[in-house]
A = this chain, B = another copy of it.
């Protein structure tokens, strides 16, 4: 009977142990390798496992007993599709997966929309990385805190007690702006990342800046203002080439108001601005200089080599992953603020005339 049942249902460690003529505890030791088990016994256990088609210890039972699931959650503020349109996010994600290698953990994608049975509130995760920062993050964070799940926030302030991994948005932009000023530019415009959760497209106004929910966007604007106090511009509806192109057309179409340089808050936006300039018959950088941010290789932008601020996206992710590893080990790592590196490409030059 036991045998028949075992043949039908999936075998358990106990079944394997019984067939090998050892106790369940010994079989467990044989599988985990953490304990003194004689070579002969180990082999007998493995043989029994093979005979019974036993696939190894059930991960669910393991995670209950060990109190670890071996899974790290990544909370995205949007749906999957939107998140992976952004190369910086992908690099961050890749960095995280690299940072948690010591854990040997998998990456569980979660959104903070809260729908679905497995939400951030009840996912079997050991730790969580929050990417970006949406307004409803607060609730998410409260849930995780109750559960005692370690968290890090990447580019966003999730709470005073939560470690942040960020970059020098303000200072990096300031350095980029200074480069433009040194070249002789004074009529400069911004193409910013979205300011609000609705991603409203349109001209940059003081009111809209005040209501910003994106720290990244605001910090980068502030950095530009240090050099060009009165700088204005437009906000894009997303960080992609097409949005950059639209913004570029808006800024560059009118020869009367046309700036001699554009500070784009991402490389994708910068690429779009370049396309817009081309469409309008303007040469880059002769007629208009374009500065980017991120340092991602924009697919298909060759032969342009974008002047930009190279941020260590993958390193950010890695740092986040490593911080989580440390927290799981009981340590209390500190947040990190990375520095971006200025890269002088061929898309900036002194203004014409």
A residues in contact (CB < 8 Å) with B? 10, 53-64, 67, 69-71, 73, 79-81, 84-85, 90-91, 93-94, 97, 101, 103-110, 115-118, 121-124, 143, 146-148, 240-242, 245, 268, 271-272, 275, 279, 297-303
Contact = CB atoms under 8 A, between A and B. Distances in A.
B123 A59 contact: yes
A123 B124 CA distance: 12
Contact of A93 (B69, B80, B122, B300): B80
Q: Which 10 A-B pairs have the closest CB atoms?
A: A104-B117, A241-B300, A104-B116, A81-B94, A55-B146, A70-B118, A106-B118, A59-B124, A241-B299, A55-B147
Contact of A299 (B10, B58, B80, B240): B240
A70 B117 contact: yes
Contacts of A79: 94, 97
Given A80-B107, A109-B107, A121-B56, A300 B71 contact: no
A222 to B, nearest CB: 28
Given A79-B97, A146-B55, A118 B90 contact: no
21 contacts: A54-B146, A56-B121, A57-B122, A59-B122, A60-B124, A64-B64, A70-B123, A71-B118, A71-B123, A80-B93, A84-B84, A97-B109, A101-B115, A103-B116, A104-B115, A106-B108, A106-B109, A108-B109, A242-B299, A245-B300, A300-B300
A343 B229 CA distance: 49
A136 B106 CA distance: 19
Contacts of A121: 55-56
B299 A275 contact: no
A216 to B, nearest CB: 21
A297 B241 CA distance: 11
A60 B69 contact: yes
Contact of A116 (B64, B67, B90, B105): B105
Given A242-B302, A298-B300, A299-B299, 6 more contacts: A57-B122, A71-B118, A104-B117, A107-B109, A241-B300, A242-B299
A341 B245 CA distance: 28
A117 to B, nearest CB: 3
A245 B54 CA distance: 50
Nearest to A58: B64
Nearest to A149: B55
A321 B299 CA distance: 30
Contact of A63 (B53, B60, B271, B299): B60
A303 B108 CA distance: 38
B84 A90 contact: yes
